[in-house]
Amino acid sequence: MALALLFPGQGSQSVGMGAALADAFASAREVFAEVDEALGQQLSVLMREGPEDQLTLTENAQPALMAVSVAAIRALKAEFGVNVTRAGFVAGHSLGEYSALAATGAVSPSDTARLLKLRGQAMQRAVPVGQGAMASLIGPKTDLALAEAAAQAGSEVGVCVVANDNNQGNVVISGEKAAVDRAIEAAKALGARAIPLNVSAPFHCPLMQPAAAEMAAALASAAIHAPAVPLVANVTARPESDPETIRHLLVEQVTGRVRWRESMEWLAREGGVTRFVEVGSGKVLTGMARRIAPEAESLALNTPEELEAFARSL
């Protein structure tokens, strides 16, 4: 049974995330302590106690989600003897790509936390609040072609592109607010529902170029090794293991499209994956996996009990 480990992106955070893992496993507590020290802040306390508005800030949510994912991976190995190399592939949604790299030993958790803190801050700096927007286009008629047509209509008044091709029925657009508003109207006319997203910046669009430049400078000096398991990258939807290629793709990812549907389709068809396991906080990717590859098994590992059950199933 070919296995792929999936790592969630922003939006999966919640107050209390990782608390059960920390209470149950010393190995998980070590990860949270390592991240706290790297950032010089008590992120683990914010994760456990909130307040939610502080946890939701991009610069906090990104390293927090990574920490929970890595804590789960480390607990799997330390407590149940399950190594990440049991998987054939890893993939992460947007910031989850960093979690995947930390989980596979390509980047240390400390370095990953610092990179994600900077990534969140750089994304926020790139576009003044209120000037950018994102919207989710949903419904049975929603596909990439519809979303691209809507984004094209929006681009007549400003920057507007497809940011996340999540799955059939769920595509996200991003750009300047006026352009996204125009695209929303176009999408509705084409038969989709459109929901403006409560985000602090227009991620994965050309407006993020200043953030990409900041990340390029930071990643240039970051220690990146070959991951123990190939990473199916967001911007190529293909497996990558070369450190320099990964370094380049992490920069490109800031402004580029998250090709999640294509990544999952590649894993199921070309990669032969029959079991998708989401590691960390929430179950967003599990739901997407079931829609994209319904013939495969999909499950999420959020709790100590779920980790134990998964280990026993191998």
How far is CA 304 from each of CA 76, 141, 170, 258, 276, rounded to the nearest angstrom?
9, 39, 31, 30, 18
Q: Take residue 84 and report the two structure tokens written for it.
A: 């990440």
**138/140 Cα distance (integer angstroms):** 7
CA 118 to chain centre: 16
How many CA within 13 A on the CB side of residue 65?
A: 34
* pLDDT tier for residue 199 given thresholds of 50, 70 and 90: confident
Q: Is the pLDDT of residue 108 over 90?
A: yes
116-162: per-residue pLDDT in tens? 999 999 999 999 988 999 999 999 999 999 999 999 999 999 999 99
Q: Is the pLDDT of residue 81 over 70?
A: yes
Query: Which position has the token pair 């992120």?
Result: 43
* pLDDT tier for residue 86 given thresholds of 50, 70 and 90: very high
**Which domains are assigned to the chain?**
2-126+207-313 (3.40.366.10), 132-199 (3.30.70.250)
**312/194 Cα distance (integer angstroms):** 42
**222/21 Cα distance (integer angstroms):** 29
Q: What is the pLDDT of residue 1?
A: 64
β-strand pairing of 170-176 with 239-240:
unpaired
Average pLDDT value for the chain: 97
Query: Which position has the token pair 């029925």?
Result: 169
Backbone angles phi, psi at 207, to 5 degrees: -65, -15
Residue 215's nearest CA partner among 304, 116, 69, 147 is 116
Q: Is 14 designated active site?
A: no
**88/189 Cα distance (integer angstroms):** 42
How many beta carbons lie within 10 A of that of residue 85, not counting itself?
11
251-288: per-residue pLDDT in tens? 999 999 999 999 999 999 999 999 999 999 999 999 99
Q: Which residues pair with 300 in a beta bridge?
A: 278
Catalytic residue among 27, 44, 99, 204: 204
Q: Is the pLDDT of residue 3 over 70?
A: yes
Q: What is the pLDDT of residue 285?
A: 98
Helix axes 209-220, 243-255, angle to 10 degrees: 160
pTM metric for this prediction: 0.97
Query: Which position has the token pair 């049974």?
Result: 1
β-strand pairing of 297-301 with 273-279:
parallel
Catalytic residue among 44, 69, 94, 108: 94
Q: Is 204 designated active site?
A: yes
CA 261, 165, 59: angle at the middle one, nearest 5?
Answer: 110
